Chain A
Amino acid sequence: MTYFTLKGTIPKYKGYRGQVLIVNLSNGEIQKKAIDHSIIENYLGGRGIAIKYLFDNLPKGTEPFSPNNILVISTGPLTGTLAPSSNRYTIATKSPLTGCIGYSNAGGHFAPELAYAGYDAIFVHGKAEKPVYIFIEGEIVEIREATNLWGKDTWETDEMLRKEIDIDDIQILSIGQAGENLVRYAAILNNLSRAAARTGVGAVMGSKNLKSIAVKGTGAVTVAEPAKFDLLIEETLEKIYTDPAYPSLSEYGTSFLVDLSYIGGGLATNNNQFGTFDKYEGLSAETFYEKYKVKSESCFACPIHCGKYSEVKEGPYKGTKGGSPEYETIICLGSKCGIGNLDAVIYANELANRYGMDTISLGDTIAFAMEAYEKGVLTKENTDGLELVWGNEEAVIKLITKIAKREGIGDLLAEGTKRVAEKINKGSEEYALHVKGMEPPAYDVRIAKAFGLGWATANRGADHLTALPNFELLGYPEEKGIEWFGSKKAVDPYAWESKARMVVWHENLGAVVDSAEMCKYTCFSAYAVKPEDMAKFISYATGMKIDADDVLKIGERIYNLERLFNQREGMGEKQDYLPKRFTDEPLPDGPAKGQKVELDKMLPEYYALRKWDAETGYPLKEKLEELGLLEMAERFDLI
């Protein structure tokens, strides 16, 4: 297996639908092909086939907004089945935020519909002359004009498309104005509130003049061994339902993590200057539950249903209703900006969803601007008169619209923290929080060291989901730490020991989870699906015979290929760092006072475990050979 090859044959594996779409928006050409079996065996689906396709087909050095960039939308072998929470899809591209591999992943109901329509993936090339959307109804695939939709937000677009297409239960993903205006952290939304948000995938979609993809499928997904598959689902459900975190996640949704970070002293406040927040109660899970939650709103086939529908019932934001802000949003658009009022956060979240923006990068960029304002680097003269003081919710809400429309100061902030700091200078780099150009998530990693390492090593930039090493947070007994990662320190979030091993394991399995397209909450919250379980899910679904080692090997291959992609695109050496705030500035307050991330202790061990060069952080020949990636590295003189 060398290049990403596409054939006209139906694959031998079940679970898959057997066809992919290659859509060239420049010349309107639409092709239907089948993926070669060896690609499936080595990369599985979703995030795996995305990186393989991009590595082989994206010309080296492509500018992210050039028509030559490619947008991959891909599902996995479990998509559309009853395997718990297997409703996700990957959108991958070369990121306009980081210049690295960009990928994002969303739940909801889009991915299974694409599967029922008969497609495993869509590869979008080129750029349309005028705004268009892609329409898929089973075998019918059309590029349709979308001039009337351009300039509309994602909710308006959803409504207009539903009327125009007039097919029951069609599934739609769209960009809003932020994607059209190339905001570097623009998101792609489906089901109104499910966002493929990170790394600016929405801006690449906008650069292609692609507004939406609408899909309807009436087909079926079959699995190779239905009886065994069904029994495995039964066993997995039992693990999910009996997990101690299940009641919190299913009742409160991810907002319960606000309380967890408060208790731990890692409630990111004022651009991570503090780990405690005096207005915490305004953001707490209890407040959310009592005042705002209406009901649960689940992704497809998910027993956890962490999504919530909420409504603001009084005050200036009264009448705001829709999918609730997740934990990440509550912190990034809340406490990081000094805001302790869920009314405002829920409204800000709606705006971000409508305009189509990543609430993490958005909130972080605003929080960074606020610290620059606090330090006098930004003043009223260059903020369009807005007083960017902590907690000024009106200013934050005004900024969101300005950023989406690239108006005034919004044009600058639409570039993301790293570029803003480069522009305004005056020492602001010191508190410009990003890794590889992407802004960090909510949980302050000074109280969770494996997460800290995971932010640094994630191929897509500061990211909690690439590793998601929840293991260290769950209060497991020391014996379990020894059993899983060879150290009782593994269960201590403050400890750095054994965290390198923990992160490698999670990153590798996580890459498979993203490629089978199951939700990480099933795998890394309840740990209901471990490598041996994932091997069974994949084997029973597809008919492939793989075991736990194969699963981790596939994950490792994907992870290393993403790393090679970053190397090829000129990421340079020493790319795995953390902003100094997390490594050099101990937490100044609260129960975790004094904690910082000992990255220098974890990183060498991490590189050794990965068999990556200790200096450069890139894979060694031995590792590439072992994973079957040597030829690909040699193709671009990366070794």
Chain B
Amino acid sequence: MTQIKRISVIKEKCNGCRICELRCSFFHERFYAPSHSRIRVKKNEKEGIAVPNVCRFCYKCVESCPEGAISKSEKTGAVQIDSGKCTGCRECVLACPFGVMYIHPVNNVAITCDLCEGEPQCVKYCPEKALLYE
């Protein structure tokens, strides 16, 4: 089995522009909304800190789901969510140690990074190259 590629963050490089959030929402929803993004930049403006926060593939959510709606993608290793089975119960949100499992504001189902079918848009468009996919 080949090594799973992950998104990693060079936090010193992130300037907090949040282009990643918009790229993510546009790819998945065809509109612009950070509240629908699977990657979100956490900030402390006073200290000049900005850190993109995204799924680390620990799969704690897979174990937590009472509906069996969450699994690991064979192709990319990303977490995949069967929105037909998901009830929006939030067990996965509570189980996620990194706070990167969200509930879709409109559809009320769990969402998290799916690696954009193997070409993460956030990585592709980061102007500082603060995100890596390797």
Partner-B contacts on A (CB < 8 A) = 80-82, 109, 112, 116, 155, 159, 169, 191-192, 217-223, 226, 230, 250, 294-303, 305, 307, 309, 321-322
- The reply to whether A222 and B105 form a contact with Cβ atoms under 8 Å apart is no
Taking A192-B45, A301-B22, A322-B48 as contacts, is the C-beta distance between A220 and B36 under 8 angstroms?
A: yes
- The reply to whether B17 and A220 form a contact with Cβ atoms under 8 Å apart is no
Beyond the given A219-B35, A220-B36, A222-B30, could you list 18 further A-B residue pairs with CB under 8 A, ordered by the A residue number? A80-B32, A112-B34, A116-B34, A218-B35, A220-B25, A220-B29, A223-B31, A223-B32, A226-B30, A296-B15, A298-B15, A298-B16, A301-B17, A301-B19, A301-B22, A303-B127, A305-B15, A321-B48
Bound-state Cα–Cα, A423 to B55, Å: 63
- Nearest-CB distance from A602 to chain B (Å)? 38
- The reply to whether B17 and A82 form a contact with Cβ atoms under 8 Å apart is no
Bound-state Cα–Cα, A219 to B1, Å: 41
* Chain A residues within an 8 Å CB radius of B38: none
- Nearest-CB distance from B32 to chain A (Å)? 5
- Nearest-CB distance from B70 to chain A (Å)? 23
* Chain B residues within an 8 Å CB radius of A192: 45-46
Taking A296-B15, A301-B19, A302-B17 as contacts, is the C-beta distance between A116 and B33 under 8 angstroms?
A: yes
Bound-state Cα–Cα, A234 to B74, Å: 32
- The reply to whether B17 and A305 form a contact with Cβ atoms under 8 Å apart is yes
* Chain A residues within an 8 Å CB radius of B32: 80-82, 220-223
Within 8 A of A (CB), among B81-134: 105, 127-128
Bound-state Cα–Cα, A219 to B50, Å: 23
| Contact for B17 among A159, A226, A300, CB less than 8 A | A300
* Chain A residues within an 8 Å CB radius of B43: 169
Taking A223-B31, A294-B48, A296-B128 as contacts, is the C-beta distance between A218 and B105 under 8 angstroms?
A: yes
* Chain B residues within an 8 Å CB radius of A297: 15-16, 45, 48, 50
* Chain A residues within an 8 Å CB radius of B23: 82
* Chain A residues within an 8 Å CB radius of B22: 81-82, 301
Residue of A nearest to B19 (CB): A301
- Nearest-CB distance from B128 to chain A (Å)? 7
- The reply to whether B45 and A191 form a contact with Cβ atoms under 8 Å apart is yes
Bound-state Cα–Cα, A230 to B26, Å: 9
Bound-state Cα–Cα, A192 to B48, Å: 11
* Chain B residues within an 8 Å CB radius of A218: 33, 35, 105
- The reply to whether A295 and B48 form a contact with Cβ atoms under 8 Å apart is yes
* Chain B residues within an 8 Å CB radius of A80: 32
- Nearest-CB distance from A152 to chain B (Å)? 15
Instruction: Tell me if B12 counts as interface (CB < 8 A to partner A).
Output: yes
Provide 9 A-B residue pairs closer than 8 Å at the C-beta atoms, listed in order of the A residue.
A82-B19, A82-B26, A112-B34, A169-B43, A221-B33, A295-B15, A300-B18, A305-B15, A322-B48
- Nearest-CB distance from B19 to chain A (Å)? 6
Partner-A contacts on B (CB < 8 A) = 12-13, 15-19, 22-23, 25-26, 29-36, 43, 45-48, 50, 105, 127-128
Residue of B nearest to A302 (CB): B17
Bound-state Cα–Cα, A295 to B13, Å: 7
- Nearest-CB distance from A113 to chain B (Å)? 9
* Chain B residues within an 8 Å CB radius of A217: 35
Bound-state Cα–Cα, A82 to B35, Å: 15
- Nearest-CB distance from A163 to chain B (Å)? 13
- The reply to whether B46 and A221 form a contact with Cβ atoms under 8 Å apart is no
Bound-state Cα–Cα, A82 to B27, Å: 12
- Nearest-CB distance from B26 to chain A (Å)? 6
- Nearest-CB distance from B15 to chain A (Å)? 4
* Chain B residues within an 8 Å CB radius of A221: 31-33
Bound-state Cα–Cα, A214 to B9, Å: 30
Residue of A nearest to B16 (CB): A298
* Chain A residues within an 8 Å CB radius of B17: 298-303, 305
Bound-state Cα–Cα, A218 to B103, Å: 12
Q: Please name the 4 residue pairs, one residue from A and one from B, whose CB atoms are nearest each other, closest first.
A: A220-B33, A298-B17, A309-B48, A296-B15
- The reply to whether B31 and A303 form a contact with Cβ atoms under 8 Å apart is no
Bound-state Cα–Cα, A223 to B48, Å: 32
- Nearest-CB distance from A216 to chain B (Å)? 9
Bound-state Cα–Cα, A298 to B30, Å: 24
* Chain A residues within an 8 Å CB radius of B13: 295
- Nearest-CB distance from A88 to chain B (Å)? 14
- Nearest-CB distance from A195 to chain B (Å)? 14
Bound-state Cα–Cα, A221 to B43, Å: 23
- The reply to whether A305 and B127 form a contact with Cβ atoms under 8 Å apart is yes
- The reply to whether A303 and B19 form a contact with Cβ atoms under 8 Å apart is yes
* Chain A residues within an 8 Å CB radius of B12: 295
* Chain B residues within an 8 Å CB radius of A305: 15, 17, 127-128
Residue of B nearest to A303 (CB): B127
Bound-state Cα–Cα, A159 to B16, Å: 19
| Contact for A220 among B19, B31, B46, B50, CB less than 8 A | B31
* Chain A residues within an 8 Å CB radius of B46: 155, 159, 192, 322
- Nearest-CB distance from B33 to chain A (Å)? 4
- Nearest-CB distance from B23 to chain A (Å)? 7
- Nearest-CB distance from B115 to chain A (Å)? 20
- Nearest-CB distance from A292 to chain B (Å)? 12
* Chain B residues within an 8 Å CB radius of A159: 46
* Chain B residues within an 8 Å CB radius of A296: 15, 128
* Chain A residues within an 8 Å CB radius of B19: 82, 301-303
* Chain B residues within an 8 Å CB radius of A112: 34
Residue of B nearest to A250 (CB): B127
* Chain A residues within an 8 Å CB radius of B34: 112, 116
| Contact for A116 among B16, B29, B35, B48, CB less than 8 A | B35
Residue of B nearest to A299 (CB): B17
* Chain B residues within an 8 Å CB radius of A155: 46
Residue of B18, B19, B32 with most chain A CB atoms under a 10 A cut-off:
B32
- Nearest-CB distance from B91 to chain A (Å)? 21
Bound-state Cα–Cα, A81 to B33, Å: 8
Residue of A nearest to B48 (CB): A309
- The reply to whether B18 and A301 form a contact with Cβ atoms under 8 Å apart is yes
Bound-state Cα–Cα, A224 to B67, Å: 37
Residue of B nearest to A108 (CB): B45
Bound-state Cα–Cα, A309 to B128, Å: 15
* Chain A residues within an 8 Å CB radius of B127: 250, 303, 305
Bound-state Cα–Cα, A303 to B18, Å: 10
* Chain B residues within an 8 Å CB radius of A230: 26
Bound-state Cα–Cα, A239 to B33, Å: 25
